[in-house]
């Protein structure tokens, strides 16, 4: 067993409109975790120090998703007793919490990756993805946090089809990299309020009419082709989602104004990042700064403070050292 390991895991945006629950993109805002062993003691099993965006997080250390990811990986490797006691975790995050930027997925991935490296568990990326998706519940955020780039997750796709680079078959997940055209930027505006994913899922209807499902399927295909080719009409259609955004937009004050401002400033479209409240626009790179400013201004017009950032190339996946 090593004495310590440091991992960094990217945040992610998911859905991108019509890619609901299946498309995610790694975003270069990072969670850094150092896991260390300490002299064995009869005290608590884990001691957590939180910095950055996690400073105010009020979760008991044993319920922290980083620790739960660590324990889940040990269990998956058949070594549930091997987690050091106490485990010392130092967490430092640039990923805003409960804003739709994959902070929970990053936390569970960081814990699992730290365990894998610290204890030499021998889990491959597909196994890590399966463990974290099961724990955190959102494979569309877990996949880009592990593999980096843009990913498509087919859940429940049947027996193990793993073995190809960038794909995982364990747990029935098939994970495939998606192409993002080099001219595209993702522009994010993050308001100063939160929306818990649990609440954003509770507003979704249990069923949708068949015609709506047909439109959703077409828009989802439009997203994949639109991302690969920077196709303006397809991206516009894809970002105008019919499966989740219509039910969730009322949770995000200013949704219509901010997405409208993004389009007026030259975005192909804009939508919720994950389950919100962060809004993401897809745009030609050269328009990114103007669009970010327009989105923040539109929110300010509603009396809501917001910050923005934009990225070109998607981030890579986790790193461990």
194 binds ligand HSE (CB under 6 A): no
Which window, 67-75, 134-142, 165-173, 181-189, contacts ligand HSE (CB under 6 A)? 134-142
Which window, 149-157, 179-187, 196-204, 287-295, contacts ligand HSE (CB under 6 A)? 196-204
- Cβ-based nearer residue to ligand HSE, 86 or 276: 276
Alpha carbon distance, N-terminus to C-terminus of the chain: 14
76 binds ligand HSE (CB under 6 A): no
Q: Which of 32, 181, 201, 297 binds ligand HSE (CB under 6 A)?
A: 201
H or E, element range at 221: helix 210-229
DSSP 105-172: HHHHHHHHHHHHHHTT----HHHHHHHHHHHHS-HHHHHHHHHBSEEEEETT--S----STT---GGG
Q: How far is the CB of 123 from ligand HSE (least distance, A)?
A: 23
Q: Which of 7, 8, 13, 14 binds ligand HSE (CB under 6 A)?
A: 14
Asked whether 86 and 46 are in contact (CB, 8 A), the reply is yes
Asked whether 254 and 279 are in contact (CB, 8 A), the reply is no
Q: Which of 4, 6, 21, 293 binds ligand HSE (CB under 6 A)?
A: 21
274 binds ligand HSE (CB under 6 A): yes
Site for ligand HSE in 138-157 (CB under 6 A): 138, 140-141
Rg of the chain over all Cα atoms, to the nearest angstrom: 19
Footprint on this chain of ligand HSE (rule: CB under 6 A)? 14-15, 21, 138, 140-141, 197, 200-201, 274-275
């Amino acid at each position: 067993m090593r004495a310590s390991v440091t991992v960094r895991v990217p945040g992610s945006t998911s859905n991108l409109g019509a890619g609901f629950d299946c498309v995610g993109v790694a975003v270069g805002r990072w969670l850094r975790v150092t896991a260390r062993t300490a002299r064995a003691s009869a005290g608590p099993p884990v001691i957590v120090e939180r910095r950055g965006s996690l400073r105010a997080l009020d979760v008991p250390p044993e319920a922290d998703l980083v620790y739960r990811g660590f324990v889940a990986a040990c269990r998956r490797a058949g070594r549930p007793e091997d987690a050091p006691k106490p485990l010392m975790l130092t967490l430092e995050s640039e990923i805003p919490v409960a804003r739709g930027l994959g902070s929970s997925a990053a936390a569970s991935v960081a814990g699992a990756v730290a365990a894998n490296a610290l204890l030499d568990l021998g889990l491959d990326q597909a196994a890590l993805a399966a463990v974290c998706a099961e724990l955190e519940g959102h494979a569309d955020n877990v996949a880009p946090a592990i593999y980096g780039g843009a990913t498509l997750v087919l859940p429940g796709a049947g027996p193990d089809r793993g073995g190809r680079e960038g794909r995982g078959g364990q747990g029935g997940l098939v994970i495939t990299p998606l192409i993002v055209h080099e001219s595209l930027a993702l522009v994010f505006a993050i308001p100063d309020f939160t929306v818990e994913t649990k609440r954003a899922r509770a507003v979704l209807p249990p069923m949708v009419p068949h015609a709506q499902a047909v439109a959703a399927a077409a828009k989802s295909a439009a997203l994949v082709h639109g991302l690969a080719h920077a196709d303006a009409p397809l991206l516009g259609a894809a970002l105008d989602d019919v499966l989740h955004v219509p039910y969730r937009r009322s949770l995000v004050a200013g949704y219509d104004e901010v997405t409208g401002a993004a389009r007026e400033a030259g975005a192909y479209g804009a939508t919720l990042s994950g389950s919100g409240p962060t809004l993401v626009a897809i745009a030609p790179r050269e328009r990114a700064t103007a669009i970010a400013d327009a989105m923040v201004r539109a929110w300010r017009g509603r009396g809501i403070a917001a910050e923005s950032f934009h990225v070109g190339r998607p981030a890579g996946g986790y790193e461990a050292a």
